[in-house]
A and B are shown apart, each in its own frame.
Chain A
Amino acid sequence: MIRLMWVNTQEWFRLKFFQIVLFLAFLFVCFSQLLGSLSFTEQQRLVVDFGLAGIEIALVFIACFFSTHSLAKEIERKTILVLLARPIPRWKILVGYFGSLAILNFMAAVVLAVTLYFFITSPNLMFSINYLLAIVVIYLKSLVIGSIGLLISVIARPMFAFVLSITVWLMSYSIIEVQFFMEKAQIENSKEIFTFLSAIFPQFYKFNWKSYGFLKSLINPSDLGWAFLHSFGWILASMYLASLLFRKKEIV
Chain B
Amino acid sequence: MDIVKVSGIQKSFQPDFYKKPTQVLKNVSFVIPQGKFIGLIGPNGAGKTTTIKCLLQFIFPDKGTIQFGDNQSFIEFKKHIGYLPERPFFQEFLTGMEFLKLHWDLSGTKKDNFEHRAAEVLELVKLTHAKDKKLKDYSKGMLQRIGIAQSLIAFPDFLILDEPMSGLDPDGRILIKDILKDLKKTHITVLMSSHLLEDIDELCEELIVIHQGECFYNGSTPEFKKNYSTLQEAYKAFKGQFEVNYNV
Q: Which residues of A contact B (CB under 8 A)?
A: 3-4, 7, 10-11, 14, 77-79, 81-89, 248, 250-252
Contact = CB atoms under 8 A, between A and B. Distances in A.
Interface residues of B, number: 31
A3 B101 CA distance: 9
Contact of B13 (A3, A7, A252): A252
B78 interface: yes
B85 interface: yes
Interface string B62-92: 0000000000000110110111010101110
Top 9 A-B pairs, shortest CB-CB distance: A85-B83, A87-B78, A86-B106, A3-B105, A251-B58, A250-B59, A87-B79, A78-B89, A81-B85
A82 B60 contact: no
Contacts of A82: 83, 85, 90, 103, 147, 150
B39 to A, nearest CB: 20
A11 B105 CA distance: 18
Provide the main secondary structure of the chain B interface: mixed
Given A78-B85, A89-B75, A7 B94 contact: yes
A79 B91 contact: yes
B102 A85 contact: no
A10 B87 contact: no
B137 to A, nearest CB: 15
Nearest to B82: A85
B3 interface: no
B130 interface: no
Contacts of B53: 251-252
Given A3-B105, A252-B13, A84 B58 contact: yes
Nearest to A90: B57
A85 B86 CA distance: 13
30 contacts: A3-B101, A3-B102, A3-B105, A4-B102, A7-B94, A10-B93, A11-B91, A14-B93, A79-B89, A81-B56, A82-B83, A82-B90, A82-B150, A84-B56, A85-B78, A85-B81, A85-B82, A85-B160, A86-B78, A86-B106, A87-B79, A87-B107, A88-B75, A89-B75, A248-B60, A250-B59, A251-B59, A252-B13, A252-B53, A252-B59
Contacts of B91: 7, 11, 79
